[in-house]
Chains A and B, each alone.
Chain A
Amino acid sequence: KAGVTQTPRYLIKTRGQQVTLSCSPISGHRSVSWYQQTPGQGLQFLFEYFSETQRNKGNFPGRFSGRQFSNSRSEMNVSTLELGDSALYLCASSLESGGRNTEAFFGQGTRLTVV
């Protein structure tokens, strides 16, 4: 079974621009979550989608948004980029949103650098 696929792997953007990151979950997984990883803040939850609906949202400004498509693929968008948005963005998929089969399987991440 193919793992979680994130594209692109690396991205350099300028302050004020917007960016869209893509995530393809493991086949059959309907829950997709996004996390931001930085040296200072560690791993922080952004949001979770299940069956095209946002189930949970972390404490990030409205510039961060996401969506999930009917095939469970997900995109994350950050508008009006700031230098502090530079991070590794990780997508994770799991079989269920709740219940016991909720271990998350992570992609390799997208390294976003804002200059």
Chain B
Amino acid sequence: AQSVAQPEDQVNVAEGNPLTVKCTYSVSGNPYLFWYVQYPNRGLQFLLKYITGDNLVKGSYGFEAEFNKSQTSFHLKKPSALVSDSALYFCAVRPTAGRRALTFGSGTRLQVQP
């Protein structure tokens, strides 16, 4: 069975500083990996995905994520945080073969202070 761990319930960072939101996964075979963001009373908004190829994936709003196969990690990063980045972030995984459903992590609340 696949699983995703987001070890931090909350990450606090000052505006302008770099941010990292951590994610590790477990899946049989090769993974498809995703990051989503959720603002209050809204659905999930797609940020980026890793399918194959370059380990550094660039996405929307200046976010990027680094795939590390040996550490089974897919951390979300941004060089300079904005107050408007404050939201709930979800990492998700699904295998490239077999069951198609996304398995989500528990979410990490990002708080960017002015």
Once the chains are docked, how many angstroms separate the CA of A109 from the CA of B36?
15
Interface of chain B residues 64 through 114 with chain A (CB within 8 A): 90, 94, 99-107
Q: Count contacts on A: residues with CB < 8 A to the other chain.
A: 26
- A113 CB–B CB distance under 8 Å: no
- Count of chain A to chain B residue pairs whose CB atoms are closer than 8 Å in the complex: 54
Q: Which of A35, A98, A105 contacts B100 (CB 8 A)?
A: A98
Chain A residues, Cβ within 8 Å of B45 = 106
Contact A97 B100 (CB under 8 A): yes
- A18 CB–B CB distance under 8 Å: no
Contact B43 A109 (CB under 8 A): yes
Chain B residues, Cβ within 8 Å of A109 = 42-43
Chain A residues, Cβ within 8 Å of B42 = 108-109
Contact B51 A104 (CB under 8 A): no
Once the chains are docked, how many angstroms separate the CA of A90 from the CA of B92?
15
Chain B residues, Cβ within 8 Å of A90 = 43-44
Once the chains are docked, how many angstroms separate the CA of A4 from the CA of B42?
12
Q: Given A42-B107, A108-B43, A109-B43, are A103 and B101 neighbors across the interface (CB < 8 Å)?
A: no
- A66 CB–B CB distance under 8 Å: no
Q: Which of B100, B104, B106 contacts A56 (CB 8 A)?
A: B100
Q: Given A103-B34, A106-B36, are A4 and B100 neighbors across the interface (CB < 8 Å)?
A: no
Once the chains are docked, how many angstroms separate the CA of A42 from the CA of B7?
14
Chain B residues, Cβ within 8 Å of A42 = 104-107
Once the chains are docked, how many angstroms separate the CA of A49 from the CA of B99?
13
Once the chains are docked, how many angstroms separate the CA of A4 from the CA of B41?
15
- Closest CB of chain A to B37's CB: distance in Å? 11
Chain B residues, Cβ within 8 Å of A24 = none
- A43 CB–B CB distance under 8 Å: yes
Q: Per-residue 0/1 for B12-49: is the Cβ within 8 Å of any A Cβ (1 yes, 0 no)?
A: 00000000000000000000101010000111111001
Other contacts beyond A42-B105, A43-B104: 7, CB < 8 A = A42-B107, A45-B102, A56-B100, A56-B101, A104-B46, A106-B36, A107-B43
The 10 closest A-B pairs by CB, nearest first: A106-B43, A43-B104, A45-B101, A106-B44, A108-B43, A100-B51, A109-B43, A56-B101, A103-B49, A42-B106
